[in-house]
């Protein structure tokens, strides 16, 4: 059922990803203008991710009817498949943001979705099916939902579950999202629909991120006042300046509880680039341009935390082990599960972008 109140009015707020999770959702990839070679390599990688998560928690995968049999073949038998319409498979951005109250009740927030920028710089023209996914997931999961009045994607926000919300100016203030709203009005909506008390604004996201700098590709909130930040020490890398601007922003702000924010640096992979073979395997389209030699927006911060596990993208043999060791030290008691996910990266994101958790 769609509610006419707001989560804040009803005593609901957005819990942290490191709090207990009941279920994780994904959507099966199929777009030929985003996933190479008829999406077959991406489908195998999505299945590897889903199967790994299914060892820890219930997994549900949305799938178009024509792909049901292949998905069923590749996915563990414990994974639920739900036939659903959608335009592309970024469940973090099209699925519901789930809020909870003190009694442990769950409700979904359905944001307006316009393919990361609408007519201004969106990645495809028709996003009507994507815009219905959050409501459909809530119906399947048996949750009431709110329809938020602003354009927003789940990858553009991170929370500590204690009133602090992290985001980037590059994304939320971009002309393709909510150009009619001032920053203060956007903050008001974030507080109303997520129960946030303090917005920590970072200037920009990761270099060459076609989502206009989603925060989940730059940082990951791993605990109260504790953040992992993508980092490079190469002064010739365009990410060098962006990471330092983000670090300065984190260092100069306090969280909702007045705490200093601890920043743990994690290296960016590579830099990594599209190969000729990878770029040629994708059908050309106006919105998504994939060219040989184009820099990939690769990040180890784009992981998923589920019930004392971290599902980490493995992207670069030079840095994979370093990233694992940093997270093992930062998150004692967590199992770090590395999964090779270059095929997801080629589509423009990673493990966090293709998953959406429903809190316990």
191 catalytic per annotation? no
**What is the CA angle 220-330-55, rounded to 5?**
75
Catalytic residue among 138, 171, 191, 353: 353
Q: Which of 308, 297, 281 is nearest to 353 (CA)?
A: 297
Pairing of strands 219-223, 226-231: antiparallel
Helix spans in the chain (H): 7-10, 40-54, 68-74, 91-94, 118-121, 130-141, 169-172, 183-194, 239-252, 276-280, 320-330, 342-346
Tracing tokens 């972008």 back to the chain, one arrives at 353
CB 110 within 8 A of CB 132: no
Helix (H, G, I), strand (E, B) or coil at 221: strand
What secondary structure does DSSP assign to 87-100, as a single string?
SS--HHHHSPEEEE
Residue 306 and residue 221: Cα distance in Å, rounded? Answer: 13
Helix (H, G, I), strand (E, B) or coil at 137: helix
Pair 88, 34: CB distance under 8 Å: yes
Active-site residue set: 353
């Amino acid at each position: 059922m769609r509610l006419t109140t707001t989560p804040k009015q009803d005593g609901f707020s957005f819990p942290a990803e490191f709090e207990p999770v009941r279920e994780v959702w994904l959507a099966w990839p199929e777009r030929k203008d985003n996933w190479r070679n008829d999406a077959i390599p991406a489908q195998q990688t999505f299945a590897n991710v889903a199967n790994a998560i299914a060892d820890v928690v219930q997994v549900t995968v949305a799938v178009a009817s024509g792909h049901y049999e292949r998905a069923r073949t590749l996915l563990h038998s414990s994974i639920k498949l739900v036939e659903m319409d959608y335009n592309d498979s970024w469940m973090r951005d099209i699925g519901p943001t789930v809020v909870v109250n003190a009694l442990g009740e769950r409700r979904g927030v359905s944001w307006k979705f316009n393919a990361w920028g609408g007519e201004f710089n969106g990645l495809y023209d028709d996003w009507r099916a994507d815009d219905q996914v959050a409501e459909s997931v809530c119906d399947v999961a048996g949750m009431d939902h709110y329809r938020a009045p602003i354009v927003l994607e789940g990858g553009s926000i991170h929370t500590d579950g204690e009133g602090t919300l992290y985001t980037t100016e590059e994304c939320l203030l971009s002309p393709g999202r909510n150009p009619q709203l001032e920053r203060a009005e956007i903050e008001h909506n974030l507080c109303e629909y997520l129960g946030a008390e303090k917005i920590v604004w970072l200037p920009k996201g990761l270099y060459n991120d076609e989502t206009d700098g989603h925060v989940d590709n730059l940082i990951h909130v791993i605990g109260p006042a504790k953040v992992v930040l993508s980092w490079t020490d190469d002064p010739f890398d365009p990410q060098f300046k962006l990471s330092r601007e983000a670090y300065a922003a984190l260092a100069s702000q306090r969280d909702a509880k007045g705490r200093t924010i601890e920043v743990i640096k994690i290296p960016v992979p590579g830099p990594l680039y599209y190969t000729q073979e990878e770029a040629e395997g994708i059908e050309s389209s106006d919105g998504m341009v994939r060219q040989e030699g184009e820099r990939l927006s690769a990040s180890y911060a784009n992981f998923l935390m589920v019930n004392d596990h971290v599902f980490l993208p493995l992207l670069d043999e030079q840095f994979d082990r370093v990233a694992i060791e940093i997270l093992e030290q930062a998150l004692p008691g967590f199992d770090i599960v590395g999964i090779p996910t270059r095929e997801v990266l080629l589509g423009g994101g990673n493990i966090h972008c293709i998953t959406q958790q429903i809190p316990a």
